[in-house]
Amino acid sequence: MLTELKPFLRLDRLPHIWCPGCGNGLVMAGIIRAIKRAGLNQDEVVIVSGIGCSARASGYLDFNTVHTTHGRALTFATGIKLAKPHLSVFVLMGDGDALAIGGNHFIHAARRNLDLNVIIFNNQIYGMTGGQASPMTPATSKATTAPYGQLEQPFDTVELAKGAGATFVARSTAYHTQLTAKFIAEGIKHKGFAVTEVITQCPVAFGRRNGMGNPADMLKWQKERALNIDVAKNLGVKPEGKFLIGILHQEERPELGELIASQKARWQKGDN
Ligand code: SF4
Ligand code: MG
């Protein structure tokens, strides 16, 4: 496996700083496989990350990389893509980064439909800063800021992205690493704002506090709770306690970069 991933890794930066059993490496491997599968030129790939444990991935990947500020990865990515539309731009964010601090940027980026590949590492908590509740912490789960259990409902990332206008939305888990690669690769092919949420385990800040066992137990939880959309269609109902994985939404809508280019061409011809 390492041989397959090696050409895309900054080996001089390893070993990584993630905790033993953290799911971030599995998600990162899925991203590499997707880029490889899509046949992208390594020099034309840009990885933009925000702040958080998962954001460290940009430092371990051998592409053009930018480790930016908390909640603002999408703004940097938007500027890069508008300035250099031929580049394939990937935006790596945690759940707090994408949906709390960067929540406003997220909905507006989705609305604009710029051709970006967004991957949200959803570990359901703020891991790096010690386990504060994020907008993805499930109700009743414990966090340092919710020691008796979270009282608020989390977002449903898929519904939020769809509602805000994202034209490709998928969900996977760290356990389903091959499916993660497949969905991200489909998102790369899609012309528009593509979001893949990956539910991943944080054994240290979330798992331990919530009695989820060791990292293997948390992967088993992901395997058992995930329901593939194709299976769900045959069942006709979504059984209680399950969440859907798969490509959950896709639509064609004019992409912002193309709209800007055609408006510019009309303007240059004097045809407004
Ligand atoms: Fe992973 Fe959690 Fe450790 Fe962060 S705190 S590296 S998310 S296990
Ligand atoms: Mg998080």
Question: pLDDT digits over 11-54, tens only?
Answer: 999 999 999 999 999 999 999 999 999 999 999 999 999 999 99
> Is the separation of the CB atoms in 119 and 27 below 8 Å?
yes
pTM of the model as a whole: 0.97
Q: Residue 257's domain is classified under what CATH number?
A: 3.40.50.970
Complex ipTM value = 0.96
Computed over every residue of the chain, the mean pLDDT equals 96
Q: 43 is in which domain, residue-wise? A: 6-269
- Residue 164 domain-assigned (yes or no): yes
- Residue 1 domain-assigned (yes or no): no
- Residue 163 domain-assigned (yes or no): yes
To test the ligand 1 pocket, which listed residue (53, 124, 198, 206) has its Cβ within 8 A of the most ligand atoms? 53
> How far apart are alpha carbons 166 and 193 in whole angstroms?
5
DSSP run (H or E) holding 160: helix 157-164
* Ligand 1 nearest atom to the CA of residue 17, by list position: 6
Nearest CA to ligand 1 atom 1: 22
Residues 6+ apart with CB under 8 A from 122: 94, 95, 136, 157, 197, 198, 199, 200
Question: Mean pLDDT, to the nearest integer, of 224-233?
Answer: 94
**DSSP assignment of 26-59:** HHHHHHHHHHHHTT--GGGEEEEE-SSTGGGHHH
Nearest CA to ligand 1 atom 5: 127
* Ligand 1 nearest atom to the CA of residue 52, by list position: 4
> Is the separation of the CB atoms in 75 and 49 below 8 Å?
no
- Residue 253 domain-assigned (yes or no): yes
Question: Mean pLDDT, to the nearest integer, of 156-179?
Answer: 98
- Residue 23 domain-assigned (yes or no): yes
Q: How many domains does the chain have?
A: 1
Neighbours of ion ligand 2 (CB under 5 A): 94-96, 123
Higher per-residue pLDDT: 237 or 58: 58
> Is the separation of the CB atoms in 258 and 266 below 8 Å?
no
Question: pLDDT digits over 128-162, tens only?
Answer: 999 999 999 999 999 999 999 999 999 999 999 99
Question: Mean pLDDT, to the nearest integer, of 216-223?
Answer: 98
Question: pLDDT digits over 73-93, tens only?
Answer: 999 999 999 999 999 999 999
State the pLDDT confidence band at 1, using cuts at 50, 70 and 90: low
Structure tokens at 116: 């970006």
